[in-house]
Amino acid sequence: MTNDLNSLDKMEIFDSYAVPPQQEGDQADIVETRKASNSRQAKLFFDQAKDRLYDINKWDSISEGMSASFVLIDKYGNVKNGLPAVGDHIRINIPGPGSSAGEGYDWVRIEIVQEKNELEREFCIIKVRPSEDPSKKEGTAHFFESQATSSFIVKRDGILLAAEIHGRNEKPNTDNKKLTDRIRNLVVSTAATSGLAKIKWEKLAKGLLNFQKTRF
């Protein structure tokens, strides 16, 4: 649903740190919107969407057809079932050969977890950046370079809700020590920027705002 998107765009709540400017490489902007029937319903919808955004371990289960899986890892390297925090990592398992630098996984580090409430306007954000495998620390273990970022956002303005995913400065990571990793990252990043990543993130955005089973 894209109706009323202009109204949602008027929510000036993101600085250049939360969603960095696009400078080089590719970018992605996925926006899914919904309209609630009233303010009470909109508030309940937002709270549900926020809980889903923060429950990173279940991103694949709420996203119909999602082929990747996500696991929240704390600063000690343990699987974490609580709320995400700055300094935590997300371990990503995508189909196909994995990165040897990441023990078969791609890794990102959480840089921002932020939320704000202003009367009828509220939002929450998780921003991540490609990182090393925290247990190995052998360079960036992700198919994008560390300059890339992804910002995951849920917001509400009155009865209008949106789930957004913004990718910035997406360039293939070809600096790994192993040739196999460099080739793998080039292939995966090319596939991602050609549209496969957009399909994946669209599924997540829709999953965050899937309220069909909610009754009022």
According to the model, what pLDDT value does residue 16 have? 62
According to the model, what pLDDT value does residue 6 have? 43
pLDDT tens string for the chain (216 positions)?
433 444 445 444 455 678 999 999 999 999 999 999 999 999 999 999 999 999 999 999 999 888 899 999 998 889 999 999 999 999 999 988 888 888 899 999 999 999 988 888 999 999 999 999 998 877 899 999 999 999 999 999 999 999 999 999 999 999 877 888 889 889 999 888 877 788 899 999 999 999 875 443
Residue 202 identity (one-letter amino acid): E
Q: What's the sign of the alpha-carbon dihedral 194, 197, 203, 205?
A: negative
According to the model, what pLDDT value does residue 211 have? 86
Q: Which long-range contacts (CB under 8 A, 24 or more apart) does 68-74 make?
A: 68/92, 68/93, 68/94, 68/95, 68/200, 69/93, 73/134
Those residues with Cβ within 8 angstroms of residue 110's Cβ, 6 or more apart along the chain or in another chain: 84, 85, 86, 87, 88, 89, 90, 126, 127, 128
Q: C-alpha distances in angstroms, 40 versus 2, 26, 34, 43? A: 22, 39, 14, 5
Question: What is the rounded CA–CA span in Å between residue 92 and residue 63?
Answer: 15
According to the model, what pLDDT value does residue 119 have? 80
Structural domains in the chain, sorted by start: 5-208 (3.30.530.20)
Tens-place pLDDT, residues 183-209: 988 999 988 887 778 889 999 999 999
According to the model, what pLDDT value does residue 215 have? 45
Those residues with Cβ within 8 angstroms of residue 140's Cβ, 6 or more apart along the chain or in another chain: 101, 130, 131, 132, 146, 173, 175, 176
Both tokens of 137, joined, read: 């620390």
Question: What is the rounded CA–CA span in Å between residue 73 and residue 89?
Answer: 5
What radius of gyration, in Å, describes the C-alpha atoms of the chain? Answer: 17
Q: Which residue has the tokens 């765009």?
A: 9
Those residues with Cβ within 8 angstroms of residue 111's Cβ, 6 or more apart along the chain or in another chain: 86, 127, 128, 129, 149
According to the model, what pLDDT value does residue 2 have? 39
DSSP one-letter string for 122-171: EEEEEEEEE-B-TTT--SB-SSB-TT-EEEEEEEEETTEEEEEEEEEEE-
pTM for this structure? Answer: 0.89
According to the model, what pLDDT value does residue 14 have? 52
